[in-house]
Structure formats: C-alpha cells, structure tokens
Amino acid sequence: MVPAAGQSAWLTLLISAAMAFLCVFALAFSVAAGRLADRWGDALSRTATVRLSAPATQMDEQTAIVLEVLRTTPGVDSARVIGPEDQAALLEPWFGPDLPLDLLALPRLIEVTESAAGFDSMGLRLRLAAEAPGAVLDDHTRWRRPLLEAAMRLRLLAVLAMGLIGGATAAMVTLAASASLASNAKVIAVLRLVGARDRFIASAFVRRLTLRALIGAGVGTAAGMAALLAIPGTADSGGLLTGLGFAGVEWLYPLAVPPLAALVAWAATRAAAFRVLREVT
Amino acid sequence: MIDLESVAHGYTGAELFSEVSLRLGGGSFHFLTGPSGAGKTTLLRLCYGELVPQRGKITFFGENRRGMARDKLAFTRQRIGVVHQDCQFLDHLTLRENVALPLIAGQRPVPDTDLDELLSWVGLSAHADALPPTLSGGERQRAALARAIITSPEVLLADEPTGNLDWEMSTRLLQLMIELNRMGTAVLIATHDLNLIRAAKPHVSARVLRIAGRKLQLAGADL
C-alpha cells in the first residue's frame, strides 16, 4: 500500500550498511581489547620475580637461601634462576647483543611461578628480608594494574562506540521514517478513513524500513568482516592492531549486528509511525 | 446507528451550524441539501468520525465519539461506507486495489468474484487495472461508490456522489443505493441535484434535510 519508491528506503539501506560496517570494527576492537587484557593479565599474574643483589662472593649462597625460602613458601609452584643467556636476551632490546654481562654487577633474577592458589606476597617479602636481605620480590602488580586498566578502558570505549553507533542508527532511521511518513501523509489519511487500525498502517512502514535496515546491515556486516580478514597478520597476537579481528567462534559475534540493526530500525520506525498517526483522525 | 444530538461545529471560531440533531437509523434514507459552504461536507465528516463536534454529542452504534479509542473508531469506520467528494484514492494503486482497500485495511479476505461483479456493476471492468489519475471524473465517482459499498456497510454516506455523472449513470447508482437501503443500510446523500432527489422519491421513503441559516431543517415538502 505504501509506494515502493522513496529516498527514505535508500537512506535506510545506506545508513544501516555504514553503521553495521563501523559496528563490526568497534566489535572487533572490543574483542581485541578484551583479548589483550586477558593476555597481559595471564602473562603477568602467574609469575613474579625475585631480584637478588649481593657481593659476588655471596651470590651463590644467597641464591640458595632464596630458592629454599621459595621452595617452602605455600603457593609457589616453581622457582628458576634466570641464566646468563636468558638475562642477555632480556637486556638485548635495550643494550644490543654485545653487552659484556660478565663484566657488569647485575643482580641475579629468579623467576617464580605461582600455583593456582597464589602466594602471600607480603609474607614472602618479610621472609626474604629476614633471610636474604638483598632479595627483592617484584610480583608485577605495579605493571599489571595499569596495563589491565588500559586494556579494559579500551574495551569500554569500544562498547561505548557500539552504543553510539546504535543510537545514531536509531536517530537516522527515525529521520528516514519521519520523511517516509510525511511523504505518504495521504496514504495514511486514506487508510484511516477506510477503517485501518494504527497498527496495520504502522506495520506497512515498519516492515519496509526494518527489511531495508536488515539488508543494509547485512551488506555492511559482510563488508566489515571482509575488511577485517584483509588486515594482514591477524593470526599473530603480538599487539592490539595486528590482533584486530576475530578468532574462531568470535567470527559469529558480528552476525548479531544485522538482527540488532533491524531491531533498532523496527523500534525507531514504530515509534515514529505511532507519533505521526496520533495526529491523524 | 449514528445519532447526533444538539451538535455544533465550525472553523476558526465561526459556527457553521448548531443544535443539529439527526438520527441515521437502520433502513433510513436521507438526502442532505443546502447552499455551498453551508456545512454539508462538515456534517458528513462528523458522521464518520473524522471530526469531533465542538458541542453536542455523536454516538456511533451506541458509543460516544468523544473519547472513543482509535482502534474502536477504526472498527466503527469499517461499518460505514463513505463516498468522498474528491474520491480519496491512492494514485499508486490500481482501481481494483483502491476498491478493495477497505477490505485490505480491515484485514478481511478480498473475494475476487465479488470485486469483479461490483466493478462490472459500476461499469468499470475494463478499467480494473488502471491507475486513478487516468480515469475520468465520472469513472472515479463510480469507483468511489464501489469502494464505499464493498464491505456491505451498515451506513452509507455519500458526498455529491453523482456530481460528475450523466443522468443515466446517476440514476443507476441511485438505484444501487436504494437497493442497499432496502437491505437495511442507512443512507445519507449530500447533493445539490434536486432531480436526483425527485427521481428517488417514487422508490424510497426518503427524508430531505436542508442546512441553512446554521440550522438543519426538514425540507421535503417543496420537492
């Protein structure tokens, strides 16, 4: 009953496609930020480091004491002295490969792996202070917390972006629906005159715009997913940008975008239609 | 079916008419006459609930128009057939679709045979798939009448239904309305055409009403 042609139909299609495209990226960003947070959390939360500074003559003795303390500490799964090669590898990014480690009085590093229950870091610090005064426990908390906060903040921003995209979609579909309703004022008036109920009239517009939103969002989502696939190195989880994308079952997440866009369009058009119909007797 | 009690209505502060009381009961037949601008169309618009009276009360099938829920008003209109003076077609739909519109709007089945028969009766079978803008004024009026009666309404309101028709087609449509009236449909026809009223008199017991001087009067005696 509603004329097939109309700018509002194309507008809805275009808006939905563009918004779905952006939404897929925001979703991918959110998932990547979450993954990054998990990775940083996992990498740092289960390990700690004991840094031991002592005169060279006492280093081995102090190391043995520290290892014994760690062995008898509940919640410590294992402890390993980081050897010269590993230490050189850690320092290489800053000082280059030719650093003469044997000439430097570097502290000895002991990597501690926690059990699932974790250890009492305060108690361990006190024991180390009593038995090996040169040993300092670093449980990575000061590194982990800001990193996790940054990752969670990124995720929140991505979720906020998705909310804004949803709101903008609703606003623009409402505008398109209002334009469509205004240009079809006579259709609405005649249908009311011949006894059509508001729900019947509204459904003619709602059906049309919801379908367009679904199709548009489907196209936008497909384009967004294709664009993500085209980003090089998504399989490598080295950083946030190279990790932008979905992995495994996460590729199902964007499939929710078209139905959600259709739902937003349905609600927006329905609200606009009933608002206009209230003005018609 | 439709009762008007002491109804007054007008526009921009000026009253077109006041103290209008009228009862369109089952099987009644009324003509409504009066000079242009006297309020015939306004009275008809009140009679199908498009307007709410500024004063007085209108009841449709026992229910007050004032405060009537929108869905209830829609159901009420499904029981009233209206021939609008300007026909009120949807120009992007074919004539057949326009005629079937009250059935579609009421979400009722559209029997093709009934539709074909009705279009044939008003002489529009050949134009069934034409769009309204391609039709003549007379064809549009016939189609408007077909649309008004396709739901077998309990009340038929017609605003100048024969204004663009030749005499032969006018009497033919008048006969159709008289037939509907005999089957119990209340009919109210607003018209300038006194010959149409005279042509109806031998066939139906019709009351002739006249709006003049802001009042509705019985005016059958001089016709």
DSSP B13: T
Q: Which of residues 168-187 of A touch B (CB under 8 A)?
A: 186-187
- Given CB atoms, is A250 within the 8 Å cutoff of chain B? no
Contact list, A281 vs chain B (CB under 8 Å): 49-52, 73
**Helix (H), strand (E) at residue A111:** strand A108-114
Strand order in the sheet with B14-24: B14-24, B2-11, B55-60, B63-64
Q: Pick the range with the lowest mean pLDDT from A256-260, B35-39, B197-201.
A: B35-39
Q: Is A193 on the interface with B (CB under 8 A)?
A: yes
Boundaries of every domain in chain B: 2-218
Q: Is A1 on the interface with B (CB under 8 A)?
A: yes
Same domain, A163 and A231: yes
> Do A270 and A221 share a structural domain?
yes
pLDDT in tens, A171-229: 998 888 888 888 888 999 999 999 999 999 999 889 988 999 999 999 999 999 999 98
What residue of B is the nearest CA neighbor of A3?
B92
Find, among B115, B166, B116, the residue nearest to B138 by Cα: B166
> Residue A234: pLDDT band by 50, 70, 90 thresholds?
very low
Q: Is residue A169 part of a domain?
A: yes
- Alpha carbon separation from B141 to A1, A89, B124, B145 (Å, rounded): 21, 94, 11, 6
Mark whether A23 and A86 lie in a shared domain. Answer: no
CA distances from B37 to A267, B33, B34, B164 (A): 44, 11, 8, 19
- Contacts with A198 from chain B: Cβ below 8 Å: 70-71, 74
A184 shares its domain with A74: no
Chain A contact for B90 (CB, 8 A cutoff): yes
Interface residue B212 vs chain A (CB under 8 A):
no
Are A114 and A77 in contact by the 8 Å Cβ rule? The answer is yes
Can you tell me the ipTM of this complex? 0.89
Residue A147 belongs to some domain of the structure: no
pLDDT exceeds cutoff 90 at A21: yes
- Please tell me which residue of chain A has the smallest CA distance to B92: A3
**Angle subtended at Cα B109 by Cα A185 and Cα B122, rounded to the nearest 5 degrees:** 75
Q: Report CB contact under 8 Å: B50, A281.
A: yes
Q: Are residues A224 and A260 in the same domain?
A: yes
How far is Cα B37 from Cα B10, in angstroms, rounded to an integer? 11
> Is residue A142 in a domain?
no
DSSP A118-168: ---HHHHHHHHHHH-TTEEEE-SHHHHHHHHHHHHHHHHHHHHHHHHHHHH
CA distances from A216 to A213, A258, A259, B85, B88 (A): 5, 8, 11, 43, 35
Residue A124's domain comprises 54-133
Closest Cβ–Cβ partner in A190, A195, A281 for B78: A195
Cβ distance A281 to B75 less than 8 Å, yes or no, reads no
Distances (CA, A) of A144 to A47, A50, A119, A240, B111: 11, 16, 17, 16, 74
Give a yes or no: residue A66 inside a domain: yes
Query: Is any Cβ of chain A less than 8 angstroms from the Cβ of B94?
Result: no
Residues B115-119, mean pLDDT to the nearest whole number: 91
Residue among A3, A186, A194 minimizing CB distance to B105: A194
- Sheet arrangement for strand A135-138: A76-81, A108-114, A47-52, A135-138
Using the Cβ of B152 and the Cβ atoms of chain A, whether some distance falls under 8 Å is answered with: no
Enter the CATH code of domain B2-218.
3.40.50.300
Question: For B57-102, what is each residue's pLDDT tens digit?
Answer: 999 999 999 989 999 999 999 999 999 988 889 999 999 999 999 9
Q: Do A164 and A270 share a structural domain?
A: yes
Task: Return the percentage of chain A with pLDDT > 70, whole number.
Answer: 93
List the alpha helices (DSSP H) in chain A: 7-45, 59-71, 84-95, 121-131, 141-183, 185-193, 198-230, 257-277
With both helix axes pointing from N to C terminus, report the angle between A121-131 and A59-71 in degrees, rounded to the nearest 10. 150
Q: Does A196 touch chain B (CB under 8 A)?
A: yes
CB-CB neighbors (< 8 A) of A191 in chain B = 101, 105
* B12-65 confidence digits (pLDDT tens): 878 888 889 999 998 999 999 988 888 899 999 999 999 999 999 999 999 999
Task: Name, of A50-59, A84-93, B187-196, B212-221, the range with top average pLDDT.
Answer: B187-196
Q: What is the C-alpha to C-alpha distance for residues B66 and B56, in angstroms, rounded to an integer?
A: 10
Please tell me whether residues A243 and A176 are part of one structural domain.
Answer: yes
Within this chain, do residues A82 and A128 fall inside the same structural domain, yes or no?
A: yes
**Strand B29-33 with B207-212, pairing:** parallel
The SS3 call for residue B18 is strand
State mean pLDDT over A111-122: 84
Q: What percent of chain A has pLDDT over 90?
A: 36
Mean pLDDT, chain A, whole residue set: 86
How far are the Cα atoms of B151, B157, B194 from residue B30, in angstroms, in the given order? 20, 10, 13
Other CB atoms within a 10 A radius of the CB of residue B162 amount to 26
- Please state the domain count of chain A: 2
Contact B90 A187 (CB under 8 A): yes
Which residues of A fall within a CB distance of 8 Å from B9? Answer: none
Per-residue pLDDT, A84: 79
Question: Residues 6 or more apart from A237 whose CB is under 8 A from it?
Answer: A35, A39, A243
What is the least distance, in Å, from the CA of A17 to any CA of chain B?
A: 29
Where a domain ends, among A99, A133, A167?
A: A133
Average pLDDT of chain B?
90
Annotate B104-153 with DSSP letters as a single string: HHTT----HHHHHHHHHHTT-GGGTTS-GGGS-HHHHHHHHHHHHHTT--
Which chain A residue is nearest to residue B79, measuring alpha carbons?
A195
- What are the strands, taking DSSP E only, across chain B? 2-11, 14-24, 29-33, 55-60, 63-64, 80-83, 155-159, 186-190, 207-212, 215-218
Chain A segment 70-89 residues within 8 A of B by beta carbon are none
CB atoms near residue B210 (< 10 Å): 20
Residues of B in contact with A189 (CB under 8 A): 88
pLDDT band, very low/low/confident/very high, at A242 (cuts 50, 70, 90): low
- Model's pTM, two decimal places? 0.72
Q: Which residue has the tokens 């649309």?
A: B147
Q: Whole-angstrom Cα distance, residue B128 to residue B95?
A: 5
